[in-house]
Chain A
Amino acid sequence: EAQVTQNPRYLITVTGKKLTVTCSQNMNHEYMSWYRQDPGLGLRQIYYSMNVEVTDKGDVPEGYKVSRKEKRNFPLILESPSPNQTSLYFCASRSDRVGYTEAFFGQGTRLTVV
């Protein structure tokens, strides 16, 4: 089954404690992105990757890091989480082939930083 898998689904952590949210896709997609969803703001892109070792900032990258060492994986790293990073996070992937427009989303990770 084609899917994007995020882990964990829920996470409560303390300020300053480094954490990683994993994302893996099994569709051999080139594009992968991270978004955060906040009430009244919709989803906003944090970082994206166009392929292995190619990453770039989205609209709200401060406080986050990413890496793309393998095509299927795109982890999101919060080196020193702060309460303003409490949010719902989504990983998404899509193919770069012409005509393949749909983005596939993971199940979401609810992060609370206290």
Chain B
Amino acid sequence: AQTVTQSQPEMSVQEAETVTLSCTYDTSESDYYLFWYKQPPSRQMILVIRQEAYKQQNATENRFSVNFQKAAKSFSLKISDSQLGDAAMYFCAYRSAVGTGTASKLTFGTGTRLQVTL
């Protein structure tokens, strides 16, 4: 079974600075997807960024980018120019790209709560 580990329960960053959230995962599969979701106080789950395992290029979405190290099974999220609105819980998630039942499931880490200070 796949597992996702987020070892930082809480992080803090000053406004306009850069912060990196860590995520490691364990899988025997070669074809899969990785995601970062943001959960603000409204509880809504918002997709921040996604990465296909077969792509070597790291995904980027505006101020958000990932460092995907497939061999190390690492998938960190970098937030540049942090803003107050970035304060939220961030979840790393894995989904298989093959099969039916396994492809139905997102496996989540336990989350990292990000605080943004002035």
Contacts and interface: CB of A to CB of B under 8 A. Distances in A.
Interface of A: 31, 33, 35, 40-45, 48, 50, 56, 58-59, 88, 90, 92, 101-103, 105, 107-108, 110
A42 B104 contact: no
Interface stretch (B11-19, B40-48, B64-72, B75-83): B40-48
Q: Which 4 A-B pairs have the closest CB atoms?
A: A42-B108, A105-B45, A48-B104, A108-B43
Given A48-B104, A108-B44, A101 B109 contact: no
Interface in B32-72: 33, 42-45, 47, 50, 52
B44 A105 contact: yes
30 contacts: A31-B104, A33-B106, A35-B106, A35-B108, A41-B110, A42-B4, A42-B108, A42-B110, A42-B111, A44-B108, A45-B106, A48-B105, A50-B100, A50-B101, A56-B104, A59-B105, A88-B43, A92-B45, A101-B33, A101-B52, A101-B95, A102-B47, A103-B47, A103-B95, A103-B106, A105-B44, A105-B45, A107-B42, A107-B44, A108-B45
Given A105-B44, A105-B45, A107-B44, A40 B101 contact: no
Contacts of B100: 50
B91 interface: yes
Given A42-B91, A105-B44, A56 B110 contact: no
Majority SS at the chain A contact face: strand
Contacts, number: 54
Nearest to A109: B43
A105 B38 CA distance: 12
A50 B4 CA distance: 23
B45 A90 contact: yes
B44 to A, nearest CB: 6
Given A88-B43, A102-B50, A58 B105 contact: yes
